[in-house]
Amino acid sequence: MINNMRVLVGISGASGSIYAERLIAELASRIPRVYVIFTKTGQQVCRHELTISDERFSLLRLLKQEQNPDHVIRVFSDEDLFAPVASGSSVPTHMVVLPCSMGCLARISCGISSGLLERAADVMLKQKRPLIVCPRETPLNTIHLRNMTSLSEMGVHIVPAMPAFYQKPSGISDLVDFMVGRILEILNLDHQLYRPWNPRMR
C-alpha cells in the first residue's frame, strides 16, 4: 500500500502551520509522493507563524522552492485548476486538510470548490477516497459544528487540532508530534511520535 500512496496535504489559513510542516516531513520519509496546496491565507499564516529552524524540513523553504528532498513533494498552486489533483481521473489516495480554517471547512462541506484545495477535497468526496480534515478554531459556533457534522456524515475524518497532555509533553514539539501521530494512524502509517497510552508506565 505504502508504495502506491499519494497523499495531498492542503494548508489553509488557520493557525497551526507547524502541524503541516511536521506531517509533510513525516510523510516524505515514508511514502513516494506528497502533494501540497497552500491557500493564499495559508501561505500568509505560515510566514507569520513559522521560522526556518527545523533541521529536518522547513515549510518556508518549500514555499520558497528551496527544499524538496528527492522531489517527493510536489506543490500545486491553489489557482491551478488544471493540476492533476483537480480531476477524478488522477486523484490522490488520501487527502489531509491541516490546519483547516472554518471558512475552508464550510466551503468543502458545501462543495463550493473555489480553488484547487477545495476542488481536490470535492474530488475526494465524490470518489469516496479518505479525506481527513483538521479544524482549528475555538470557541466553535453552531455553523462550524453543523459543517463538521455534515462532513462527518459523508465519511470525512474530523481530527481537530487538539493535542493531549496525558503524554506529559516536554514542549511544543511533543504536542505537534501527538497530533501528527494521530493523523498517521488514520493513514495506517506506523510511527513512534509518541508512546501508546499505558497508565502503568509513567
**Do residues 126 and 88 make contact, with C-beta atoms less than 8 angstroms apart?**
yes
Cβ distance to ligand FMN smaller for residue 41 or 167: 41
CB atoms within 10 A of CB 10: 33
Cβ distance to ligand FMN smaller for residue 47 or 64: 47
Nearest-approach distance from CB 41 to ligand FMN, in angstroms: 4
Cβ distance to ligand FMN smaller for residue 98 or 183: 98
Residue nearest to ligand FMN (CB): 13
Nearest-approach distance from CB 72 to ligand FMN, in angstroms: 24
Which amino acid does the sequence have at 123? V
Give the DSSP H/E element, type plus range, for residue 10.
Answer: strand 6-11
Nearest-approach distance from CB 33 to ligand FMN, in angstroms: 23
Nearest-approach distance from CB 127 to ligand FMN, in angstroms: 22
Nearest-approach distance from CB 70 to ligand FMN, in angstroms: 28
Cβ distance to ligand FMN smaller for residue 117 or 189: 117
With vertex at residue 73, the alpha carbon angle to CA 148 and CA 87, rounded to the nearest 5 degrees, is 55
Q: What is the contact surface with ligand FMN in residues (CB under 6 A)?
A: 12-15, 39, 41-42, 45, 48, 101-104, 136-137
**Do residues 109 and 150 make contact, with C-beta atoms less than 8 angstroms apart?**
yes
Cβ distance to ligand FMN smaller for residue 56 or 146: 146
One DSSP character per residue, 146-191 reads HHHHHHHHTT-EE--S---STT--SSHHHHHHHHHHHHHHHTT---
